[in-house]
Amino acid sequence: MSYFKKLLKILLTLLAAVQLTACSRTVQWEEEVPLNTGETIVVKRSGTYTYESESGNPLKFAYRPDWRSTIEFTYKGKKYSHTDDAVLILLAIAPNGSPTLVAEAANHDWAWKNKYNCVTPSYVQFNPDESGSRWTWPDRIDSWLHNQPTNLIFGLVPQDASGKHLKSPDRVQKNQSLTVMYKELRFIDPAYSENKCQRKY
C-alpha cells in the first residue's frame, strides 16, 4: 500500500510539472543595440508567456506576456545581467563608462510597486554594482540621459520570433505602434510627466 501511495504521489507531481510547463512558453532572442557611444553590441533577452484567462472574461484563455524579463550582455569584457518587470526602453553608456538601463517608471505599475518618487521626467534608471548582476536606481534619472533615443525592443518579442537575431529595423517595426503614439517612448523626454507614480513619505 505504501509503495502504491509513493507511486501515485510521483505520478501526480510529474503531471503537475507537465501542466505547468504546458502553461508557459519562454521566448529568447538576440538583439543588436546601437549605443550612444557609436558602438553596437548584441544583447541576449528572454521572457515568458503564460497561458491564462482574460481579466474581463475568465472563459477566454490566451498566452499573455509575463513582464518579468532578463537582459544579458557583455561590455568592455564585463558581463551584465538584469531581471525585472520594468519594461526597458534604453541601454546607454554613462560618462564614467558604465552601462545604464532605463524604463518608463509607471509602465505596468512599476513605480507604484516600488514606491518610486514622483519625478519629471518619469523614467527609472538602473545602475549596476561591481558584480554586474545587482542593480539599483537613484531618485531620478541623470540629466545626460535626457533626449537619448530609445534603443531596445519594448517588452517581449512575439512567440514566433523566439531564437532569432534581431537588428535595428526589426526593433523599429516591433515598437512602431507605441512610438507613433507616445513620443516619450521614442526618446527620453525631459518634460515627460506621469500621474500614476507613487510618492515616498
Q: Note down pLDDT in tens along the chain; length 201 residues.
A: 566 666 556 654 544 444 444 588 999 999 999 999 999 999 999 999 998 767 666 667 788 888 899 999 999 999 999 999 999 999 999 999 999 999 999 888 898 889 887 889 999 999 999 999 999 999 999 999 999 999 999 999 999 999 999 999 999 999 999 999 999 999 999 999 976 555 544
Provide the CA 170 distance to its chain's centre, in angstroms.
Answer: 17
Which among 152, 30, 42, 47 is positioned nearest to 103, based on CA atoms? Answer: 152
Compute CA distances 67 → 26, 47, 48, whole Å: 12, 7, 8
Place of cell 505599475: 109
The region, left, alpha or beta by phi > 0 then psi within -120 to 50, assigned to residue 154 is beta
pLDDT of residue 17: 44
Decide: 196 and 109 in contact? Cβ < 8 Å.
yes
pLDDT of residue 65: 81
Decide: 114 and 105 in contact? Cβ < 8 Å.
no
76-83 long-range Cβ contacts below 8 angstroms, 24+ apart: 78/132, 79/132, 80/128, 80/132, 80/133, 81/132, 81/133, 82/126, 82/128, 82/133, 82/135
pLDDT of residue 16: 44
